[in-house]
Amino acid sequence: MPKTPAELRMEAEAWLRELGRHPRPLNRHLYLVPGFTDELADCWQWISERGRRLVPDWDTYVTVVTFDDPDAPDADFIDLGAYLHDLILRTSGPSGTTSAQFDVVCHSMGGLDAFAAMVPLLGRYPTASPLPTARYFITLDAPWRGVLSWDILCGRPDIRDPQWPGRLTQCPVLRPGSPELVALRAARAELEGAAERVICMSADRESPIEVEWSSSNLCSDVAPSALWPRGPSYRANMIPGTSHSGVGGITWSPITIAQIFNYLLFNA
């Protein structure tokens, strides 16, 4: 009989406790990228709290990315990707070495931001300064194909909060079939050389305005080997008992956190 989400959470907690008895340092810079309407990156509070207890050099190597500049009213995920590109370049340095130099873990639209940071889209931000190679590009419930109920999402009061004018332009891009999303999926092959390992984790409980499994799996419509004959490697899996965000959200689950630390610290 398959294990229940509660049993899997208990196993993950036990694994994390064992890690606490034998802490391991990071050896690459890690960027934690938040999603839509999470400009101050609240989604990473729990993983950061645990990371400081379990990873001795956490504060040296980890950047929790925020998008809290309200002076960019016309931003979408391609604009945020350009900002993230420049941040990684300043922090990790330019390409020019054969070894992977950073990891990036992203929640929701943060996955789209990071993709746009690594792969220029629609000719809007061509760059002569490519990023160094990412060892791990991990996404948590990223809407690669948008959100079916995007119009309901865009009608919520928090999307029209004047404190965050960029939400009004970011939200319509989540319409399935938007030019930005079509361009992203058409450019997936360009992740070759930009990342060594791509991992898409998905929540297994959906509400009408959250992200479907077929949307959160970057390769749900194509074999990864067809996109990337020489890599990156690819994996997609669900995190049991999680929703997209909030209480019980995928970024707060010990199962998610244990899997992330297992990848980053042990190259599992």
pLDDT score of 100 more than 70: no
Nearest residue to 138 (alpha-carbon basis) of 230, 213, 218? 218
Q: Is 119 part of any domain?
A: yes
How many domains, in total, are found in the chain? 1
pLDDT score of 139 more than 80: yes
Q: Is 126 part of any domain?
A: yes
Spatial neighbors of 155 by CB under 8 A, at least 6 apart, are none
DSSP per-residue codes, the chain: -PPPHHHHHHHHHHHHHHHHHS-----SEEEEE--TT-TT-GGGHHHHHHHHHH-TTHHHHEEE-----TT-TT--HHHHHHHHHHHHHHHH--S--SS--EEEEEETHHHHHHHHHHS--TTSS--SSPPPPEEEEEEES--TT--TTHHHHHTSGGGG-TT-TTHHHHGGGGSTT-HHHHHHHHTGGGGBTTEEEEEEEEES---TTS--HHHH-TTTTS-HHHH-TT--EEEEEEETT-BSSSTTBTTT-HHHHHHHHHHHHH--
**Mean pLDDT computed over every residue of the chain:** 92
Say which amino acid occupies 265. L
pLDDT of the residue at 99: 55
Q: Given pLDDT bands bounded at 50, 70 and 90, which one contains residue 72?
A: low
Q: Report, in angstroms and rounded to the nearest whole number, the Rg of the chain calculated over CA atoms.
A: 18
pLDDT score of 201 more than 90: yes
The alpha-helical segments, DSSP class H, found in 93-243 are 109-118, 150-154, 167-170, 179-186, 213-216, 224-227
Q: Is 7 part of any domain?
A: no
E-state strands within the chain: 29-33, 62-64, 102-107, 134-140, 195-203, 233-239
Q: Is 130 part of any domain?
A: yes
% of residues, the chain, pLDDT over 90: 80
259: domain CATH number?
A: 3.40.50.1820
d(CA 39, CA 69): 9
**What is the arithmetic mean of pLDDT over 218-224?**
96
Q: Is 232 part of any domain?
A: yes
d(CA 90, CA 86): 6
Q: Is 15 part of any domain?
A: no
Residue 182 DSSP class: H
Q: Is 183 part of any domain?
A: yes
Q: Is 191 part of any domain?
A: yes
Map tokens 């208990």 to a residue.
10
Vertex 225 angle, CA 219 and 236, to 5°: 35
pLDDT in tens, 90-99: 998 876 655 5
- Its pTM stands at 0.95
Instruction: Give residue 262's domain range.
Output: 27-266
pLDDT of the residue at 189: 97
**What is the arithmetic mean of pLDDT over 106-128?**
92
Strand order in the sheet with 134-140: 62-64, 29-33, 102-107, 134-140, 195-203, 233-239
pLDDT in tens, 20-71: 999 999 989 999 999 999 999 999 999 999 999 999 999 999 999 999 875 6
